Chains A and B, each alone.
Chain A
Amino acid sequence: MSAAAVDLAERVPPGNRSLFRRALRVGLILGVVAIYGATIGILPLMDARWVIVDMVSLGDAALIAIGLSAGVLIAARTRSLEFWPLVPPSLVAGGVAGGLLALLALAMQAFPLRQIFIALSPGLLKSLTFGLGASRGGAVLIVAGASLAVLGAALTRAPEGLRKPAAAGLAFVIVFGVFQELIQIMMQSGGAIDALRQSIYTWEGLTLAGALIIFFLASGAAFVWTGWLRGPARERFMRLSPAQKRTAKSARVVVFVLVLVLLPVVAGSYIGQVMMLVGLYILMGMGLNLEVGLAGLLDLGFVAFFAVGAYATAILTADSPHALASYTAIPSLSYWAAMPIAVLASIVVGILFGIPVLGVRGDYLAVATMGLGEIVRVVVQSDMAAPVLGGAQGILQIPKPRIGGFELADPVHLFYLTLAASAVAAYFAWRLENSRLGRAWMAIRDDEDVAQGLGVNLVKVKLLAYGLGAAFAGLAGSIFAVMLTSVYPSSFQLLVSINVLALIIVGGMGSLPGVMVGSLALVGLPELLREFGEFRFLFYGAALIIMMRVRPEGLWPSATRRRELRDEAGEAALGELEGTATRPAPRAPDLQDTEP
Chain B
Amino acid sequence: MMKHSKILMTALCSSLAAFCAASAAAESKGPVTDDIGVLVIPKGAPVQLGGYWVMSGADSALGIDEKRGVEIAIKDQGGTLVGHPIKLNVEDDGCNAEGGQTAATKLAANPNTAIVLGPACSSAATAGAPILWKAGITDIATATTAPKLTAADRKPEYDGFMRTVYSDIDQGASDAKYVHDVLKAQKIVTIHDGSPYAQQLATVMGDNFKKLGGTVLSQEAVAPTDVDMHPVLTRIATEKPDVIYAPVFVAAGAQLLRQEKETPGLEKVPLIGSSGQMAPDLIEAAGDAVVGYKITYPDVSPEAMGSGYPKFVDEYKAAYGEAPISGFHANAYDAAELAIKAIEKVAKTDASGSTYIGRKALRDAVLTIKFEGVSGPIACDEHGQCAKFKPAVYEFTNSDPKTFKIGVNPKKIWP
Contacts and interface: CB of A to CB of B under 8 A. Distances in A.
Determine direct contact between A and B, CB below 8 Å.
yes
Interface of A: 181, 185, 188, 203, 250, 253-254, 257-258, 261-262, 265, 268-274, 277, 378, 381-383, 391-394, 396-397, 406, 409-413, 416, 419-420, 423, 426-427, 430, 483-486, 488-491, 527, 530-531, 533-534, 584-585
Nearest to A272: B105
Contacts of B223: 378
B395 to A, nearest CB: 28
B5 A268 contact: no
B127 A427 contact: no
Nearest to A250: B3
Nearest to B223: A378
B96 A490 contact: yes
A272 B55 CA distance: 23
Given A270-B105, A393-B200, A427-B1, A258 B11 contact: yes
A257 B56 CA distance: 34
Contacts of A484: 97-98, 101, 127
B6 to A, nearest CB: 10
Interface stretch (B16-24, B75-83, B269-277, B354-362): B16-24
Contacts of B7: 254, 257-258
Contacts of A270: 105-106, 108-109
B148 A396 contact: yes
Given A254-B7, A397-B155, A486-B127, A265 B96 contact: no
Contact of B130 (A382, A483, A485, A489): A485
A185 B195 contact: no
29 contacts: A181-B110, A185-B110, A203-B46, A203-B87, A254-B3, A258-B11, A261-B11, A271-B109, A378-B223, A381-B194, A391-B199, A392-B192, A392-B194, A393-B196, A393-B199, A394-B123, A396-B126, A412-B19, A416-B16, A419-B8, A420-B12, A423-B4, A427-B1, A486-B126, A488-B123, A490-B123, A531-B56, A534-B56, A585-B1
Contacts of A181: 89, 110
Contacts of B108: 269-270
Given A393-B200, A419-B8, A584 B126 contact: no
A75 to B, nearest CB: 38
B114 to A, nearest CB: 14
Contacts of B102: 273-274, 277, 527, 530
Interface of B: 1-5, 7-8, 11-12, 15-16, 18-20, 45-46, 55-57, 87, 89, 91-92, 94, 96-98, 101-103, 105-106, 108-111, 123, 126-127, 130, 134, 148, 155, 192, 194-196, 198-200, 219, 221, 223
A250 to B, nearest CB: 8
A188 B1 CA distance: 36
B196 A273 contact: no
B8 A420 contact: yes
Contacts of A423: 4-5, 8
A271 B106 CA distance: 8
Contacts of A427: 1, 5
Given A268-B109, A484-B127, A533-B92, A257 B4 contact: yes
A247 B99 CA distance: 41
Nearest to B203: A393
A364 to B, nearest CB: 24
Most-contacted residue by chain A among B8, B11, B16, B57 (CB, 10 A): B8
A181 B134 CA distance: 21
Given A484-B97, A486-B97, 19 more contacts: A188-B111, A203-B45, A254-B4, A258-B7, A261-B8, A268-B109, A270-B109, A273-B106, A392-B196, A393-B196, A393-B199, A394-B123, A396-B148, A420-B8, A423-B8, A426-B4, A484-B98, A527-B102, A584-B1
Nearest to B15: A265
Contacts of B57: 534
B172 to A, nearest CB: 14
Contacts of A531: 55-56, 92
Nearest to B109: A270
B39 to A, nearest CB: 13
A378 B101 CA distance: 24
Nearest to B11: A261
A188 B106 CA distance: 14
Contact of B1 (A271, A274, A396, A426): A426
A392 B199 contact: yes
Contacts of A269: 105, 108-109
Contacts of A257: 4, 7-8
Contacts of B148: 396
Contacts of A489: 194
A485 B8 contact: no
A434 to B, nearest CB: 10
Given A261-B11, A423-B5, A484-B98, A185 B194 contact: no
